[in-house]
Amino acid sequence: MSDPGRVRQAAEVLEGVVRRTPILSSPFLDDIAGRRVLVKAECLQHTGSFKARGSWFAISQLSEAERTRGVIAFSSGNHAQGVAHAARAAGIPAVIVMPSDAPALKIANTKALGAEVVEYERGSEDRDAIGARLAEERGLTLVKPFDNADVIAGQGTVGLEIAQDAGVDDADVLVCCGGGGLTAGVSLGLDGTALRARPVEPEGFDDVARSLRSGGIERNNRLSGSLCDAIITPSPGKLTFPIMQERCGPGLVVTEEEALRAMAHAFLRLKVVLEPGGAVSLAAALFHPEEIEGDTVICVATGGNVDAPVFRKALDTL
Amino acid sequence: MSDPGRVRQAAEVLEGVVRRTPILSSPFLDDIAGRRVLVKAECLQHTGSFKARGSWFAISQLSEAERTRGVIAFSSGNHAQGVAHAARAAGIPAVIVMPSDAPALKIANTKALGAEVVEYERGSEDRDAIGARLAEERGLTLVKPFDNADVIAGQGTVGLEIAQDAGVDDADVLVCCGGGGLTAGVSLGLDGTALRARPVEPEGFDDVARSLRSGGIERNNRLSGSLCDAIITPSPGKLTFPIMQERCGPGLVVTEEEALRAMAHAFLRLKVVLEPGGAVSLAAALFHPEEIEGDTVICVATGGNVDAPVFRKALDTL
| Residues A252-303 pLDDT 10s | 999 999 999 999 999 999 999 999 999 999 999 999 999 999 999 999 999 9
Residue of A nearest to B30 (CA): A112
Contacts of B10 (CB under 8 A, 6+ apart): B53, B57, B150, B153, B154, B156, B157
Residue B73: name the closest of B57, B55, B96, B42 by CA. B96
pLDDT greater than 80 at residue A103? no
Q: Name every chain A residue with its beta carbon within 8 A of the beta carbon of B112.
A: 27-28, 31
Percent of chain B whose pLDDT exceeds 70: 100
pLDDT greater than 90 at residue B289? yes
Q: How many CB atoms lie within 10 A of CB B12?
A: 9
Sorted by where each begins, the domain ranges of chain B are: 4-50+148-316, 52-142
| Residues A204-250 pLDDT 10s | 999 999 999 999 999 998 888 889 988 988 899 999 999 999 999 99
Cα separation, B71 vs A159, in Å, equals 41
Q: Name every chain A residue with its beta carbon within 8 A of the beta carbon of B31.
A: 112
Asked if B60 and B83 count as a contact pair (C-beta separation under 8 A), the reply is no
Cα separation, A233 vs A111, in Å, equals 24
What's the rounded mean pLDDT across residues A4-19? 97
In this prediction, residue B140 carries a pLDDT of 96
Asked if B297 and B249 count as a contact pair (C-beta separation under 8 A), the reply is no
3-state secondary structure of A204: coil
CB atoms A311 and B267 under 8 Å: yes
The alpha carbon of residue A49 is apart from the nearest alpha carbon of chain B, in Å, by 10
Q: Name every chain B residue with its beta carbon within 8 A of the beta carbon of A304.
A: 271
Cα separation, B283 vs B286, in Å, equals 5
Q: Name every chain A residue with its beta carbon within 8 A of the beta carbon of B304.
A: 271
pLDDT greater than 90 at residue B76? no
Cα separation, A198 vs A249, in Å, equals 5
What b/e string do you get for A287-307 counting C-beta neighbours within 10 Å, with b at 16 or more?
A: bbeebbebebbbbbbbbbbbe
The alpha carbon of residue A146 is apart from the nearest alpha carbon of chain B, in Å, by 23
| Residues B4-30 pLDDT 10s | 999 999 999 999 999 999 999 999 999
CB atoms A21 and B24 under 8 Å: no
Residue of A nearest to B303 (CA): A271
The alpha carbon of residue B258 is apart from the nearest alpha carbon of chain A, in Å, by 18
In this prediction, residue A22 carries a pLDDT of 98
CB atoms A31 and B270 under 8 Å: no
CB atoms B315 and A318 under 8 Å: no
Cα separation, B41 vs A304, in Å, equals 16
Cα separation, B275 vs B179, in Å, equals 17
Q: Name every chain B residue with its beta carbon within 8 A of the beta carbon of A109.
A: 28
Q: Name every chain A residue with its beta carbon within 8 A of the beta carbon of B272.
A: 44, 271-273
If one compares B94 and B109, the residue with the highest pLDDT of the two is B94
Amino acid identity, position A218: E
CB atoms B318 and A304 under 8 Å: no
The alpha carbon of residue A317 is apart from the nearest alpha carbon of chain B, in Å, by 10
pLDDT greater than 90 at residue B108? no
Rg of chain A over CA atoms, in angstroms? 18
Which residues are paired to B199 by β-bridges? B175
pLDDT greater than 90 at residue A101? no
Phi, psi of B142 (to 5 degrees): -80, 130
Q: Name every chain B residue with its beta carbon within 8 A of the beta carbon of A278.
A: none
Residue of B nearest to A310 (CA): B315
- Fold matches, A4-50+148-316 and A52-142: yes
| Residues A105-121 pLDDT 10s | 788 889 999 999 999 98
Q: How many CB atoms lie within 10 A of CB B121?
A: 12
In this prediction, residue B25 carries a pLDDT of 98
Asked if B281 and B266 count as a contact pair (C-beta separation under 8 A), the reply is no
Cα separation, A181 vs B151, in Å, equals 46
3-state secondary structure of B110: helix
Candidate from A24, A271, A318 with C-beta closest to B308: A318
| Residues B116-171 pLDDT 10s | 999 998 778 888 888 889 999 999 999 999 999 999 999 999 999 999 999 999 99
Cα separation, B201 vs B206, in Å, equals 5
Contacts across the A-B interface (CB distance below 8 Å) = 62
CATH no. of A52-142: 3.40.50.1100
Task: Choose the mutation target among B24, B271, B313 for the interface with A, i.e. most A CBs under 10 Å.
Answer: B271
CB atoms A271 and B315 under 8 Å: no
Q: Where are the alpha helices (DSSP H) in chain A?
A: 4-14, 27-33, 51-60, 64-69, 78-90, 104-112, 127-138, 149-165, 181-189, 207-214, 240-247, 256-265, 276-287, 308-316
**DSSP string over B53-91:** HHHHHHHHTS-HHHHHH-EEEE-SSHHHHHHHHHHHHHT
Q: Please state the ipTM of this predicted complex.
A: 0.95
**DSSP string over B208-261:** HHHHHHHSS----S-S-S-S-GGG--SS--TTHHHHHHHH----EEE-HHHHHH
CATH of B4-50+148-316, one of 3.40.50.1100, 3.40.800.10, 3.40.190.10, 3.40.50.150: 3.40.50.1100
